[in-house]
Structure 1
Amino acid sequence: MSVLHVARIHVTNLRKIYFFETLSDEQLELLGSFSTKKHFDKGAILFYEKEQPTSLTLLTEGTLKVYKTDPKNNEIIMHRFRPVSLIAEMAVLEGMPYPASAAFETDGTVIEIDFERFKKEFLHDPDVALLLFKSLSKKIKYLEDVIALNVVLDSTARLAKFLCDNKEALTELKHYQLAEHLHMTPETLSRTFKKLVVLELLEKESNGYRIKSREGLRVLFE
């Protein structure tokens, strides 16, 4: 873990985060008293699989990949998180070890909140509880997508579904990152892109690809 800087958090910084927008200034002062902001280098590990969590972690800057490692030491990427996102809150709520590892793909920042204090002071608040519930619901959807991408769909349907569900993927992810996420080799991904171009669902451009028919892509996986 490569932490560049650790600091306490000012109320005005917490107020900007939508998770806390319903809290009063007094509540924010209390929250800030047991919260810490940490800055990380690109490539830094936030946590490893099987570590025991003690803090509720909120990603506020950067891109964080959550992944598992298979017996051959290959990474299986579960999801890439972008701000603002709660990370592995189920493990914290259940008091169980992290089910996967997390590493920064860019420089990044998180807010770590002492969970025992948070539970005592805020978990009874209906607005806070609802935000946690919504975040957990998103994680269930992410897991469903991972299962679909790895078990149910072939490579063509996998790429088509991912492009439909992630409009920014063609501009934000490098070729090797997209291949990792879809659990393909870069060569297989290239062939799959070419197939979608031949089907006139994508168009090749100088800086990548453009979606021509989103409905056509949907036909491949629905």
Structure 2
Amino acid sequence: MHKIMSTKNIISSLNFFSLLSEEQVDQLSSISVVSKYPKEYVVHYEKKENNSLLFLLSGLAKAYKIDKHNNEIFLHYIYENSLISEISNIRQDTLNSFSNITLLEDSQILQIDYKKFKEIFLDKGYLCSEFTNEIILRSQQLQSLINREFIFNSVVKVAMMLHDDLEIFNKLKRAEISLILHIQPETLSRVLNRLKRDNIIDSKNGKIVILDKEALMSVCEE
């Protein structure tokens, strides 16, 4: 029988809050709630204000935007034990969403009252470095997006996804991967066949297996 973790224990297990004292964790627990949501649940929409600071405890989510033609533009994945909320300004009492966030699996989310969190921690100088690191991470993700969309060719796009997100690659259908990378399905097939011919990857039971990580990394750096 699995032991059900308390909100306090869940918070204590997150690296983001590892520097808090036990008393501070108790304070944080009092303004937090843990909720479960099903696959395909939309956590929030872009340009909407949110009163909660959100952490993905288990499951998987994706961040994306919708262009003027109603096409989805994939941004990045959000993995378990990661911050979902997008931090751009720590002076406001609410959080603004830059993107849409949708769950790709049944997930568990920690919700923290952001206004109280700001009063108790941020305004007193606690966790500011952690928030700064999150802002830097979002900047790096934006840089990766720019590279993927405007600089990298199709071979590098596929190689980078195999290198960075192999588990996700093997979960998705080829058509979904093509949409994420903004390449044609035929192009994806050609790239995968090329990497197989070069003995960099192989396919076993319908899943991609990396045979030569160094060679794959070399392709990513082309």
| TM-score (ref. length: structure 2) | 0.84
Distance 1:184 1:97 in 2: 31
Q: Which amino acid aligns with 1:63?
A: L
1:89-147 Cα distance to aligned partner (Å, 9 max, x none)? 31463646311101111111211212221111112566622222222222222111111
1:146 is matched with which residue?
A: 145
1:88 is matched with which residue?
A: 85
2:49 is matched with which residue?
A: 52
1:43 Cα deviation after fit? 0.6
2:19 is matched with which residue?
A: 22
Q: Which amino acid aligns with 1:52?
A: E
2:40 is matched with which residue?
A: 43
Q: Which amino acid aligns with 1:139?
A: R
What pairs with 1:1-222 in structure 2 (closer than 5 Å)?
Answer: 10-91=7-88, 93=90, 95=92, 97-123=96-122, 128-222=127-221
Counting matched residue pairs gives 214
Q: Which amino acid aligns with 1:115?
A: Y
* Percent sequence identity over aligned pairs: 28
1:71 Cα deviation after fit? 2.1
1:182 Cα deviation after fit? 1.6
Distance 2:134 2:70 in 1: 30
Q: Is the 8 A contact 2:88 2:135 kept in 1?
A: no
Runs (4 or more) in structure 1 with deviation over 6 Å come to none
Q: Is the 8 A contact 1:55 1:92 kept in 2?
A: no
Q: Which amino acid aligns with 2:19?
A: T
Q: Which amino acid aligns with 1:54?
A: N
Distance 1:168 1:125 in 2: 40
When the two chains are superposed, the root-mean-square deviation of aligned CA atoms in Å is 2.3
